[in-house]
Amino acid sequence: MITNFKGKTAVLTGAGSGFGLECARIGARLGMNLVLVDVQQDALDQASAEAKAAGAQVLALKIDVSSATQMETLGQAVLERFGAPHFVFNNAGVGAGGLIWENTVKDWEWVLGVNVMGVVHGVRVFTPMMLDAAAKDPTWQGHIVNTASMAGLLNPPNMGVYNVSKHAVVSLTETLYQDLRLVSDQVGASVLCPFFVSTGISQSERNRPAEFVVEKPTRSQLIQQTMTGKAVGSGKVTAADVAQLVFDAIVANQFYIYSHPKAIHSVQTRLEDILQARNPTDPFADKPEIGQQLKAALRAA
């Protein structure tokens, strides 16, 4: 937990848009030093200029979070400029869908590289720094927030690669929380599990590196892009709302952060499936028309 953010340092990945950008805006208002990280240079430049105009001390770096060496370079740069960060937001993420057997090796490597290894590297690089700072100062406070998804607690169909990556982030963060409790009372952890919120992730193909580009998306992937785009576009909760929830959770030392608490009903159903060893419940039981549309689209000749 962190009770006072003024003068503290935040490292925010995926800072050029969505939750990362909105957390940067809140951090600037609270008087934080900001380390802004993104893979998209123009978005990073814009976020950096805005944060500086708001009076924040800013270090902006174009980094591919899936790269161990780039993330280690980031860690060294942060340590040299601001010292150990107090708030680390491992937030950068990409989306990909389609029937799980249709995903290529490139799809898997890209999504798991960013969504899983990006978080792994953030935890691996920054946690030791934070624990070292805490050991030297009994008043030091730090917190790590990893962005997962409701897809890390559920398994919606036609979204397999993304589901797998986000389940890994939930597991990683729950373990991080427990491991930290063994060694320190000064560094906390939370996992962010948003539902459909407009963040730009539905356009994440724009940042797919050339080595991971596939020649042509399958029909199931195109269907998923359309459905996700509609769901995200119709969302009432904004990225700014979620960013505020993140800061509130840090202050409260709250582990699970939900953008749509009502969606937990589906998680409960899944857990009951597991406890009773029954076959997985139809994820569209509450909205059968959506399931029917998806099935019809996938089975169309």
- CA angle centred on 64, ends 61 and 68, rounded to 5°: 105
Instruction: With beta carbons less than 8 A apart as the criterion, state whether 270 and 154 touch.
Output: yes
pLDDT for 199:
54
Q: Provide the 10 A C-beta neighbour count for residue 282.
A: 11
Q: What's the chain's average pLDDT?
A: 92
Q: Which CATH class is domain 9-299?
A: alpha beta
Strand order in the sheet with 142-147: 58-62, 33-38, 9-13, 87-90, 142-147, 187-193, 256-258
Sequence-separated (6 or more) residues with CB below 8 Å from residue 297: 223
The answer to whether residue 203 scores a pLDDT higher than 60 is no
pLDDT for 27:
98
Express each pLDDT in 204-253 by its tens digit: 555 666 665 666 888 888 888 877 777 666 668 889 999 999 999 999 99
Residue ranges covered by each domain of the chain = 9-299
* pTM, to two decimals: 0.93
Q: Provide the 10 A C-beta neighbour count for residue 122.
A: 24
CA atoms of 98 and 223, how far apart (whole Å): 8
Express each pLDDT in 73-130 by its tens digit: 999 999 999 999 999 999 999 988 899 999 999 999 999 999 999 999 999 999 999 9
SS3 52: helix
pLDDT for 246:
98
Express each pLDDT in 111-127 by its tens digit: 999 999 999 999 999 99
Express each pLDDT in 152-182 by its tens digit: 999 999 999 999 999 999 999 999 999 999 9
Match 């939930």 to its residue by tokens.
Answer: 170
SS3 205: helix
Residue of 17, 160, 41, 162 lying closest to 92 (CA atoms): 17
Mean pLDDT to the nearest integer, 4-16: 97
